[in-house]
Amino acid sequence: MSRIRLGARLVGADLRRRSAETLLLLLALSVAATTLTIGLVLHGQTGAPYALTRNRTAGPDVVALLFPAPGKTLTAGDLSSLKAEAARPGVAASSRAFPTTWAPIGAHGVNGVAQVQGRDLAASSVDRPEVIDGRWVGGRGVVVERAFAQAMGVTVGEMVALGRRQVRVVGIAVSAALPPYPQLCTVGCILDRPDWFSAQPGLVWTTRHRAVALASPSEPVVWFEYLKLHHPDAARAFASASTSNGPPQGRPQLTPWQDIAGRQAEQLANERVAVVFGSTLLIMLALATLIVLVGGRMTDEVRRVGMLKAAGATPGFVTRLLLVSYLSIGLLGAALGIAAGRLLAPRLVTLSAGLLGHVGATTLSMAQAFTVTACVLAVVVLACAVPAWRAARTSTLQALTDGGRPPRRNRLLVAVSATMPTPALLGLRLAGRRPRRAVLTTLSVAVAVCGAVVVLYAQASLNADRTHAGGPADPQAAQLHTVTTTLTLLLAVMAAVNLLFVTRANAADARHTLAVARALGASPAESAAALGLAQLIPALTGLVLGLVTGVLLFHTLSSSDPVAPPTAHLIAMAILTVILVAALTAGPARVEALRPISKSLRDTSR
Amino acid sequence: MSPVVRMIGVCKHFGKGEALVRAVDSLDFEVSEGEAVMVTGPSGCGKSTLLQLMGGLDLPTAGEVWVGGRRIDRTSERARARLRREHVGFVFQDFHLMDELTALENVELPALLAGTSTGRARRRASALLEEMGLADRGHHRPAQLSGGQKQRVAIARAVVNRPTVLLADEPTGNLDSVATTEVLRLFDTLRANGQTLVVVTHDQRTAATAERIVSLRDGAIVEDHILAPSTVNAADLLSGEALT
């Protein structure tokens, strides 16, 4: 018991002694845990909102859509095929067939395309859209699907131009029968006007009479009918049985509810992919930060271990002490990350307005919380286990007298640098002294740049889609834009934290070399430039590596043809990275270079 | 002979109020060209601080410091760096060799910093190592050398740019008697070749080998002896041969 108390006291004292480093490390681990938590929260959410909406609005199991043959219009006789579907075995209930067409819609200067569906005043047995505001379709006015209403910026009571007439919005509603804006068309649309080629329509409900009146030869009336099955899970088999003989000619196209749910989930799935990708990069950065931090502290730690061992501590006790010291930061970081992730998930990621419910913080299960904690602790163990074991194995005498691991010698770098000016001569040799740290700097910058490149590509693709589509803003794209921008900022912050750690560790490590070099005639400016260069060389390598990896990664992951961001954006990002690295390095390098030589030599005497 | 080093009313104080330490206090001091001066005194008397002020590693609180005819206490760190490069060679008690460089690379470093071509720097370093009796140790790293060998490498590094003055801070402080003999023999050779030397030591036997001994106490010079030229060289004195 007394040993545990002693251990706790030593760990507490160590963390307090290095409060700034502890806080930065806590920040790195918390940010990684936060994004991982958000990713897991989203993972549990993709199907839930649609299920809730479907349940509350008596959503159909199968959507039957009857198109006219090209250049023709449907007659009353054609509707018999819809009736035949409703009469098939397995169908428990069906709605009436609803006439639907497409018409231009405009409000507040925003122009779009509406998919106008004619409905009855009475509630349907299948698909009863839930009215969120106002009232259901009456003699006058229209009801607008909520996601579309938000994109158009219209509210109940306002007038919109629909076709050639001004109509009042009498209600805002949500339905599970069709995917909400902007994915409505994935079930089926006729958009034959040249300027509508890539338009994203939104759903508007009105009376049957008005819907039919809006039809034109280019946008004829199509008919929707919604079916409820005895066994909803058999919807996919029901739909495919009808189309197993090829495409429907004169017969309705059937879409099972699972397909619609899949479309609904796409938005969250995209965001989840972005968050999981981002959290993976952030965890890699946290690992690099931790390795640099532990490596940088080892000189001090080894001496501390020597003192502990001299006082009678066993190697096992010392190893446990070092591990517990870092694991306690890891545990706190995981706890903070989980709390922040639960808090931020509903704010950062809102569901489509076309669905009921919201991203709930309470949906994070114990297993998911455990996963986040396990990931963070695994990162800590991965970074600390070897140094802790090595420190514990170092002989007491060596630990008390030695100053950490000796620097590496790179014969080629020494030879090449001999022909260079003083800053390059010293800088290259400094970079070569700690190759592992240089590799970590390269990887940190590469990870951050890679993330930024992927985000630039993703945003370029989103912008291209939006430009191509025209019409009201795409809320999904806007949200994905927010998520990816936030992730980029987090990556930049984490990479900056990492660079600060590396610069500090490099500056401390280079203190002796630079003091000797200055005693031999190197000026402070040359010394500062050397230290900066030692940092900049691996960072520039990381920049190039990140650019190439990011482009390759996006081309690999992208399902469609990727749209390249403007070259100016990539160049700006590269310049910004160099400026950031230079700025982060310049301060510590300048401070180190101006340190009194006699003091540095005294402090680093071996 | 003209003074190579000249210090006028030099003070170096650390701390403030009751914690004020007068490491060097109103000190006047000159070293002539080709002179070999041993600065002695007890620990904490200001010997090392004096040497650091001479070499421009530190600045005085007051007074003037002149090296090679230039006043250095009012110059920038950059100018002092140039002065160290061209006029001053340092030898430290802890050697301060770079661990990742070989003996040869350590010796050629100041020459490279001074802009000497790679080939010339390498030839000069090799020649010096040969003079120091370390021709076969040129490609060894400091960790593979004995204390005496490390100090000989450090001395070679200090003279590679042919400095006006060589400043050595307790050069034998970390060495056994055999290595001390080796190092003092080297200083004898340098002195014989006209190298100006200022060596700080608290070892009275080492001090006894000089032509001039300056004793310091509480940051001030208490004795400044110019000894009669001796036919006994330092190494013989230390090895006991002079006594037989």
Do B118 and A597 make contact, defined as CB atoms within 8 angstroms?
A: no
Q: Is the pLDDT of residue B237 over 60?
A: no
Q: pTM of the full predicted structure?
A: 0.69
The β-bridge partners of B71 are B66
Q: What is the per-residue pLDDT across B179-192, written as a single tens digit (0 to 9) for each? A: 888 888 888 888 88
Flag whether residue A517 sits within 8 Å of chain B, measured between CB atoms: yes
Q: Which of chain B's residues have a Cβ under 8 Å away from the Cβ of A534?
A: none
Q: Is the pLDDT of residue B107 over 90?
A: yes
Report the Cα–Cα distance between both ends of chain B, in Å, rounded. Answer: 36
> What would the mean pLDDT of A199-209 be, rounded to a whole number?
88
Average pLDDT over residues A129-138: 88
Distance from CA of B237 to the nearest CA of A (A): 30
pLDDT in tens, A45-78: 655 677 888 888 888 999 988 888 777 777 777 7
Under the banding of pLDDT at 50, 70 and 90, the label for residue B102 is very high
What Å distances lie between residue B10 and B50, B62, B89, B219, B220, CA to CA? Answer: 9, 6, 21, 10, 10
Whether B57 and A516 lie within 8 Å, measured CB to CB:
no
pLDDT of residue A405: 63
Residue A283 in tokens = 């965890």
Q: Measured between CA atoms, how close is B241 to chain A, in angstroms? A: 34
CA A82 to chain centre: 43
Cβ-Cβ contacts under 8 Å, B113 against chain A: 422, 425, 517, 520-522
Angle at A200 between CA A196 and CA A206, to 5 degrees: 95
Q: What is the mean pLDDT of residues A209-237?
A: 88
B58/A596 Cβ within 8 A: yes
ipTM above 0.90, yes or no: no
Contact B84 A520 (CB under 8 A): yes
Size of interface A-B (CB pairs under 8 A): 87
Cα–Cα separations (whole angstroms), residue A19 to A12, A23, A26: 10, 6, 10
Residue of A nearest to B117 (CA): A419
Please name the residues in contact with B205: beta carbons below 8 A apart, sequence gap of 6 or more.
B237, B238
pLDDT score of B158 = 93
Peptide bond connecting B163 to the previous residue in cis, omega within 30 degrees of 0:
no
Helix (H) or strand (E) holding A319, with range, is helix A315-348
The per-residue pLDDT for B243 is: 41
* Min Cα separation A397/chain B (Å): 17
pLDDT (tens digit per residue) in A351-401: 556 666 655 545 678 888 898 899 888 888 888 777 777 766 776 666 655
CATH architecture entry for B5-239 = 3-Layer(aba) Sandwich (3.40)
Please report residues of A whose CB lies closer than 8 A to that of B58: 596-598
Q: Which of B92, B97, B141 sits opposite A601 (nearest CB)?
A: B92
Residues of B at the A interface, defined by Cβ within 8 angstroms = 48, 52, 55, 57-58, 77-78, 81-82, 84-86, 90, 92, 94, 96-101, 105, 108-110, 112-114, 118, 121, 141, 143, 157, 161
Give the pLDDT of residue A51.
81
Chain A CA closest to residue B94 = A605
Question: Could A521 and B121 be called an inter-chain contact, meaning their C-beta atoms sit closer than 8 Å?
Answer: no
Least CB–CB distance from A522: residue in B57, B92, B113: B113
d(CA B236, nearest CA chain A) in Å: 31
Which of B126-146 are b and which e, b meaning 16 or more Cβ less than 10 Å from the residue's Cβ? bebbebbebeebbebbbeebe
pLDDT of B127 higher than 90: yes
pLDDT confidence of residue B175: 81
